[in-house]
Structure 1
Amino acid sequence: AGAAGLLVGLAVPALGVAAAIGLILYFLGAVITCLRARSYKTVAFPLLYLAPVAVTLGLGFAA
């Protein structure tokens, strides 16, 4: 649903921003859950998904 929201965001920018914020919150929650579970080996995986979405949102605001 998040990826579909980002794709629809190409046509409707407000929906793309909302989808990106939703994905950032989702993956931030996954990072926090990994840290609270002390599963430090797996914390890199949600960060790898979080980084491109955050960069994309930042570049969208910069343009």
Structure 2
Amino acid sequence: MLLSHPVRAAGLLAGLVVPALGVVATVGLILYFLAVVVTCLRARSYQTVAFPLLCLAPGAVTLGLGLGLAA
């Protein structure tokens, strides 16, 4: 699990060359941070739930804009 962040970041960078790969990497990041949010909520750690949401937001916006511009 330690290598997952660098691998996903490399996927996002490779997505500049191959757009489909960037979409897949972004979806992976979104799913990861959604799982972190769910874990925080299940642990009733409401004070820390804002941090994964702040990391989730740029990926979701980027994906939305990317898919919207591609259509």
**TM-score normalised according to structure 1 size:** 0.97
Give the TM-score normalised by the residue count of structure 2. 0.86
Quick one: distance in 2 between partners of 1:7 and 1:13? 10
Q: Which runs of 4+ in 1 moved over 3 A?
A: none
RMSD: 0.5
Look up the match of 1:4: 10
* Deviation by residue 1:6-57 (Cα, 9 ceiling, x = unmatched): 1110000010000000000000000000000000000000000000000000
- Aligned pair partner of 1:53 in 46, 49, 59: 59
Higher relative CO (Cα under 8 Å, sequence separation at least 6) belongs to 1
Mark the runs of 5 or more structure 2 residues left unpaired by the alignment: 1-6
Deviates more, 1:1-10 or 1:29-38: 1-10
Q: How many residues align?
A: 63
Query: Structure 1: how far apart are the matches of 2:37 and 2:31?
Result: 10
Using the alignment, how far apart are the partners of 1:4 and 1:48 within structure 2?
20
Give the 3-state SS of the residue equivalent to 1:40 in structure 2: coil
